[in-house]
Structure 1
Amino acid sequence: MEIKDRPKIAIKKTKLEIAIDVTTIILFVIFTVYFTQQWRTLPNELPIHFNMKGEPDGWGGKWVAWIPLIIGLILWIGLSKLEKYPHTYNYLNLNLENAERQYKNARIMINIMKAEITILFMYISWMIIGSSSEKESAINNGWIPILIFIIVLFGSIAFFIHRSFKLK
């Protein structure tokens, strides 16, 4: 079915999607407040890149610590816009009978990805803040949580793709 021929169905957000959005927004606001409070105590030069052991190996001005938060916010907004157009996504075996189920499944996938990505960028900012203090333990094994986030993100995508095959 061509994209132009696909039905444009108005589907209300599920309670799960609303809960994920609200939770992500609350976490983002709480972290941004925390980050702003920490901003005053940060040194002018912060570690901005880390090796595989979680040790800083690149430095930059403290304003650079805002970049992961800004990227996370931009991606959250962009993916929120994308959620509104499920008829434009790629599907296998889409037809009029399964369109609503497929759209809802794809939209929930985008919603969950949006939350996971936003949390990942908050964690990266937290790593930068934590590594700037004397508490080196804040980033020991810093790549393990990032690796877990990536596994969870791709696991979520795989789950929803598998689910889309079942929704034929």
Structure 2
Amino acid sequence: MRTKISWTDGVALVVLFLPLAYFIYLYPGLPQTVALHFNVKGEPDRWGNKSETWLPILMLSVVALGVGLLVRFLPLIDPKKKVQYSEGTLIKLSYGLVLFLTVLNFMIVHASQTGHFALGRGFFPVMGLFYVYLGNLFNNIKPNYFVGIRTPWTLENESVWRKTHHWGGRLWVIGGLTLAVTTFFWPKVAVFLTGTAILALAPIIYSYVCYRQIQKTV
């Protein structure tokens, strides 16, 4: 397992705290009362003192750091020592998670300045692109108990795991791109939730069907 800190780790750490630095820069110019919470349309439904915005922005930075480190060092807590075979993919996953949460944090900072949280032409397309990134990693994830499409059938049979991740990876890449483009031009919550549900449920169903087919040949 790679334990040394590389230059890419340093870049990821800097990127992670950029939203906090940006917020510090903006803070003196923010109005005393700012939007603190937003509804499903991205409109503010709770207002408060701007000092209250420090906590969620700082917490999200800390959460991003914690999630990145957890994914990165999963091999240390894996009792079966299987996840170590996907070490390179885990490193890429940790970087992707840090970048995604950092972008989300930037959106929160921007919302505190503008009073509007960009869902349809912000969060939804970004989430779709994150699905694409994850889909590209699926095919390189070896069987393990922590990351990937972990169903009773993929964990039971390595062939089912491999086929499900190959098929699911392509689905997430195509579906993620479709979702990103669709929600950018048609920013509806129902569209995003429907697309996400399909991406989540389809690989589960596929793994079951694939497992049954293999069982019939045994």
Counterpart position of 2:119:
143
How far apart are residue 21 of structure 1 and its match?
4.9
Of 61, 69, 83 in structure 2, the residue corresponding to residue 81 of structure 1 is 69
Aligned to 2:135: 158
Contact in 2 for aligned 1:69/1:125 (Cα 8 Å): yes
Paired residues of 2:16 and 2:102 also in contact (CA < 8 A): no
From 51, 58, 61, the counterpart of 2:39: 51
Q: What is the CA–CA distance in structure 2 between the aligned matches of 1:119 and 1:150, rounded to whole Å?
A: 10
- Report whether the alignment pairs 1:108 with 2:89: no
Q: Which has the higher helix share?
A: 2
Q: What is the alpha-carbon distance in structure 1 between the residues aligned to residue 97 and residue 54 of structure 2?
A: 21
The alignment partner of 1:163 has SS state of coil
Judging changes above 3 Å, is the alpha-carbon distance between structure 1 residues 84 and 13 closer, same or farther for their aligned structure 2 residues?
same
TM-score by length of 2: 0.52
8 Å CA contact 1:24–1:118 kept in 2: the answer is no
Cα separation, partners in 2 of 1:56 and 1:123, compared to 1, 3 Å: same
* Other structure's SS at 1:164 match: coil
Structure 1 ranges of 4+ moved more than 4 A = 12-15
The question of whether the paired residues in 2 share the 8 Å contact of 1:45 and 1:60 is answered with yes
CA distance in 1, matches of 2:114, 2:79: 40
Question: 1:106/1:90 Cα in 2 relative to 1: closer, same or farther (>3 Å)?
Answer: farther
Give a deviation string over 1:59-118, Cα, whole Å, max 9, x none: 122122223321222112212431123353599xx4xxxx65412212321221122112
Aligned to 1:121, which of 105, 109, 119?
Answer: 105
Q: Is the 8 A contact 1:46 1:59 kept in 2?
A: yes
Please name the residue that 1:135 is paired with. none
In structure 1, stretches of 5+ residues that fail to align are 1-9, 132-138
SS in 1 for 2:141: helix
Q: 1:25 to 1:44 in 2, by over 3 A?
A: same
CA shift for structure 1 position 13: 6.5
Q: 1:65 aligns with which of 32, 53, 58?
A: 53
Instruction: Using structure 1 for the length normalisation, give the TM-score.
Output: 0.65
2:64 touches 2:97 (CA, 8 Å); kept in 1? Answer: no
Q: How many residues align?
A: 142
Distance 2:53 2:110 in 1: 9
Q: 1 CA distance for matches of 2:79 and 2:109? A: 33
TM-superposed deviation, 1:47:
0.8
Q: CA RMSD in A?
A: 3.3
Which 5+ residue runs of structure 2 have no aligned equivalent? Answer: 143-161, 166-218
Which residue of structure 2 lines up, in the alignment, with residue 38 of structure 1?
Answer: 26
